[in-house]
């Protein structure tokens, strides 16, 4: 099989992967919200809540109607947005298969912190490679 749908690693330390399931649920809710905005509204949401390297590093600013939150916060909000069904499904599939193992090894609280810090690090790394980019990055993998 090309896509992993599950693993055979039993949970040893935690009774259930609450954080993994909550992160998946949050990403799905945010994506449904994006879809509910329609095409133009969805683009505005991606511009307002996606991490845009040139805005993060201060070489450009967003128009006031799009700048709904401070640029550094987009490092977090962008992690929960997705660019389409395949982007969402692919990311959530791998989070489902791998997230429970990491959550089991780290515990719930440390996994949340780890997830957020890794998402921020991915976005900053990508942004650092092209700091003048005006393309918003969305998703926790730090790609646009």
Q: Write out pLDDT tens, residues 44-63.
A: 999 999 999 999 999 999 98
Cβ partners under 8 Å of residue 81, min gap 6:
30, 31, 34, 45, 46, 49, 50, 138, 139
Please state, for a pLDDT cut of 90, what percent of the chain lies above it.
83
Locate the DSSP E strands across 21-139: none
Angle (deg, nearest 10), helices 18-36 and 85-106: 160
C-beta separation of 7 from 101 below 8 A: yes
Cβ partners under 8 Å of residue 31, min gap 6:
81, 82, 88
With tokens 């969402």, the residue in question is 88
Q: Give me the pLDDT at residue 34, please.
A: 97
**pTM for this one?**
0.90
How do residues 111-144 score in pLDDT, each as one tens digit? 999 999 999 999 999 999 999 999 999 987 766 5
Going by pLDDT thresholds of 50, 70 and 90, the confidence category of residue 8 is confident
Question: Pick from 135, 125, 32: which is nearest to 85 by CA?
Answer: 32
CA 82/CA 30 separation, integer angstroms: 8
């Amino acid at each position: 099989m090309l896509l992993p749908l599950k693993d055979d690693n039993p949970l040893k330390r935690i009774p259930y992967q609450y954080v993994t399931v909550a992160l998946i649920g949050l990403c799905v809710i945010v994506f449904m919200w994006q879809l509910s905005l329609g095409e133009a509204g969805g683009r505005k949401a991606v511009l307002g809540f996606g991490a845009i390297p040139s805005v993060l590093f201060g070489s450009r600013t967003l128009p006031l109607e799009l700048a709904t939150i401070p640029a550094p916060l987009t490092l977090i909000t962008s992690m929960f947005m997705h660019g389409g069904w395949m982007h969402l499904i692919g990311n959530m599939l791998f989070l489902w298969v791998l997230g429970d193992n990491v959550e089991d090894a780290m515990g719930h609280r440390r996994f949340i912190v780890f997830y957020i810090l890794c998402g921020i690090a991915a976005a900053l790394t990508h942004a650092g490679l092209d700091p003048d980019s005006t393309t918003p990055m969305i998703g926790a993998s730090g790609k646009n």
